[in-house]
Amino acid sequence: MSTLQFLADGFAVAFQWQNLLFAFVGVIIGTAVGVLPGIGPMSGVALLIPVTATLTSGLPTEAAAASSIILLAGVYYGAMYGGSTTSILLNTPGESSSVVTTLDGYQMAKQGRAGSALSIAAIGSFCAGIIALLGLVLLAKPLSSVALKFGPAEYFSLMLLGLAAVSGLAGRSITKALIMTVLGLMLGTVGIDAVSGIERFTFGQPMLFSGIEFLTIAVGLFALGEVFKTILEKSDDDGQIAKINRILPTKQDLKDSAVPIARGSFLGFFIGVLPGAGATLASFFSYITEKKFSKTPEKFGKGHIAGVAGPESANNAASGGAMIPLLTLGIPGSGTTAILMGALIMYNIQPGPLLFDEHPEVAWGLIASMFIGNLMLLVLNMPLVRIFAKVIETPKKYLLPIIIAISFFGVYAVQYTTFDLYLLLACGLLGYLFAKNDYPVAPLVLALVLGPMIENNMRRALTISNGDFSIFMTKPLSLLFLIVAVSWLLIPLFMKMRGKNVIINEEE
Amino acid sequence: MSQTFDKISSIVFFIIGILFVVQATQISDSAYGSTVGPKTFPLGLGIILVLLSLRLLYETWRQAVKARLAKGPQSPSKTFSIEIKKFLILFISAIAYVFFLEIVGYVITTFIFLLIGFQTMERGKVLFSVIISAAFSIGIYYLFSVILGGSLPSFPTF
């Protein structure tokens, strides 16, 4: 079957009424998540996994997986839309990926052009989403057929590359990022070994036999960590919300932002495909590029529409691009995609090159639903922007205890043990302490998801080579991946030594 | 960024690494016909963690030396008004929530936890807090257990 045929089938899945509903709910919640400062796309997606698991419990596995991944992906790219709203209206970014949007967006709002800024952000996000999806459609088949030729050695090295990329860009100190990665891998070894059936690090506790649930760790580290931070550190962000006058952008605004949107979309897409570099980096790069290409660079920072259009398109395109390594190679490139992958694995669906053959319904259904979701976001965001602006005013006193209650409910509903709830609280505390002291938590979650697969592929490769570790060096592709992985870690170190500033990805 | 935290954590990571190595060597060998058993991977991880924690300790130490050499005034610590009290109340009530969840049931514990939470965050408007907590706990329970057929500890059985 051709790609077009598959895509048509995907639309057939996406247009089922329950999937339309799931996409709709996903993007609405995503936008809210993006708008609310206390909660990012990662915690939003993590919190919703158990909820979707129960909602879809009546469906057959494959359909359930398709529906819930449609909802979760909707939250992911919906958050990218919503993040811009607070940046523009309040000067406080809802997500790290819309930090740069504050530079020009808030200035525009001050000049009474909040409506134009918001709608340009929405239009830019929409175009970027569509461009990223076209890229996904075009690249999915060829990439997954290449990946099918990979043996265990290549997979092992490729996953190491993924981990190295995320750790290398994750925080101020590579050592700390690597420590978090190793901790994640260690947590992944707890439980009964899949190959030999021997229990490891369980200390005879039956709770640990099935391993440490990634959901508990992710919700704890991100959602609870964030909540604890907001409770502990009172911030005075009760800024004035700017008024929205007219919603539609002027013709001049549209003309000024057309090129930045196109440039931002392509740039963001390619940055998103790279592992480790996510939406935050994409939006920064786009802002710098726009400033460089602009005829009037002095206008940036004073309410230039290109400073909103470029970065906002870039961060949305990056979130679409990030789906490519996840779906075709089975390797998440960022924290949020790692959580999406964990969700798919919960449904016993392994993302990777075989996904397109074994579960075309899930893969193409997701791709098609992203088209629809992006359209919904555009249609929703233009008229409803005022309502979403109201969401910002949700008082924290209600929000924070409810987030705690939702995360408890979510984890308990999936795990049925209070052990996981205690673990959740402990992870929340750790998540707060880690984040406060510059220990990035995203690599830990990524490593926890990838850990068992890395180990299995390593052992498979070593079984083939009879225990000879040189198999990872003698296979050309594997060697290439390893070299890239090492240089990903070393190049930033060298650049730091030479006193250069390294852009880091402080993405959740 | 506090250097004491880094110092303590690097030592903790070091100990975890050592323990991990020790535990890994005690994993029994499998009969599965491979030279690489269930030990190898955790063993390697433990060793890497030990090395990384040493490196972190070194980095922290070097930073401390640098800071001392600069002899500048201690970097002004950010003035967050840290609200330990609020946090402790919420954290302890969260632990109590977990403890009583399977004994007293979901609806009652959630209601009480939310009520305490709302009132700790900001006193006053008790009626409003009661309404929201009740709506949330009963709403979730009803939606999940009754409509979706999930299972939650319902009400006390005594």
Q: What is the mean pLDDT of each run of 10 residues along chain A (508 residues)?
A: 78 86 89 77 82 78 86 87 79 74 82 82 87 85 82 88 80 84 91 79 80 85 85 64 68 81 88 76 84 80 83 86 85 81 84 82 86 86 74 77 87 83 93 88 86 88 84 89 87 71 50
Q: Minimal CA–CA distance to A228: which of B94, B4, B123?
A: B94
- Token pair 């970097």 in the structure block, residue: B75
- Residue A233 has φ and ψ, to the nearest 5°, of -110, 100
pLDDT of B29 reads 66
Cβ pairs A/B, distance under 8 A: 165
pLDDT: which is higher, B75 or B52: B52
Q: How far apart are CA A222 and CA A430, in angstroms?
A: 10
pLDDT: which is higher, B141 or A382: B141
Whether B110 and B51 map to the same domain: the answer is: no
Q: How far is CA B113 from CA A248, A276, A422, B84, in A?
A: 45, 39, 15, 18
Whether B138 maps to a domain, the answer reads yes
pLDDT of A180 reads 92
From B125's Cα to the closest Cα of chain A, the distance in A is: 11
A195:B80 CB<8 A: no
Q: How far apart are CA A227 and CA A291, in angstroms?
A: 36
From B128's Cα to the closest Cα of chain A, the distance in A is: 10
Chain B residue numbers with beta carbons less than 8 Å from the beta carbon of A228 are: 87, 91
Among chain A residues, the shortest Cα distance to B122 is held by A397
pLDDT of A50 reads 78
A413:B136 CB<8 A: no
Quote the pTM value. 0.82
Whether B65 and B88 map to the same domain: the answer is: no
Whether B39 and B92 map to the same domain: the answer is: no
Work out the pLDDT band at B13, boundaries 50, 70, 90: very high
Whether B105 maps to a domain, the answer reads yes
Q: How far is CA B87 from the centre of its chain?
A: 13
Number of domains in chain B: 2
Whether B12 maps to a domain, the answer reads yes
A49 and A343 in contact (C-beta within 8 Å)?
Answer: yes
Chain B residue numbers with beta carbons less than 8 Å from the beta carbon of A463 are: 34, 36
Query: Which are the contacts of A198, defined by CB distance < 8 A and separation ≥ 6?
Result: A192, B27, B28, B30, B38
Whether B51 and B108 map to the same domain: the answer is: no
Whether B157 maps to a domain, the answer reads no
Q: How far apart are CA B121 and CA A496, in angstroms?
A: 43
From B43's Cα to the closest Cα of chain A, the distance in A is: 10
- Token pair 């005594």 in the structure block, residue: B158
Cα angle: A47, vertex B136, A73; to 5 degrees = 25
Q: Minimal CA–CA distance to A398: which of B139, B94, B122, B98?
A: B122
Q: Which residues is A192 bridged to in the sheet?
A: A199
Delimit the domains of chain A by residue range.
Answer: 3-497
B36 and A457 in contact (C-beta within 8 Å)?
Answer: no
Among the candidates B18, B41, B70, a domain finishes at B70
A315 and A97 in contact (C-beta within 8 Å)?
Answer: yes
Chain A residue numbers with beta carbons less than 8 Å from the beta carbon of B151 are: 416
pLDDT of B48 reads 93
Range of the domain at B11: 3-70
Chain A residue numbers with beta carbons less than 8 Å from the beta carbon of B32 are: 195-196
Whether B17 and B66 map to the same domain: the answer is: yes
DSSP state letters, A142-207: HHHHHHTT--HHHHHHHHHHHHHHHHHTTSS-HHHHHHHHHHHHHHHH-EE-TTT--EES-TT-GG
Q: Minimal CA–CA distance to A120: which of A306, A359, A379, A371?
A: A306
Cα angle: A188, vertex A192, A195; to 5 degrees = 95
Q: Minimal CA–CA distance to B6: which of B51, B58, B81?
A: B58
Among chain B residues, the shortest Cα distance to A201 is held by B23
Whether B155 maps to a domain, the answer reads no
Q: Which residues is A233 bridged to in the sheet?
A: B82
Asked if the C-beta of A470 comes within 8 angstroms of chain B's C-beta atoms, the answer is no
- Residue A416 has φ and ψ, to the nearest 5°, of 60, 20
DSSP state letters, A39-108: --HHHHHHHHHHHHHHHTTTS-HHHHHHHHHHHHHHHHHHHHHHHHHHHHHHS--SSGGGTTHHHHHHHH
pLDDT of A345 reads 85
Chain B residue numbers with beta carbons less than 8 Å from the beta carbon of A54 are: 144, 148, 150
Region B53-80 average pLDDT: 72
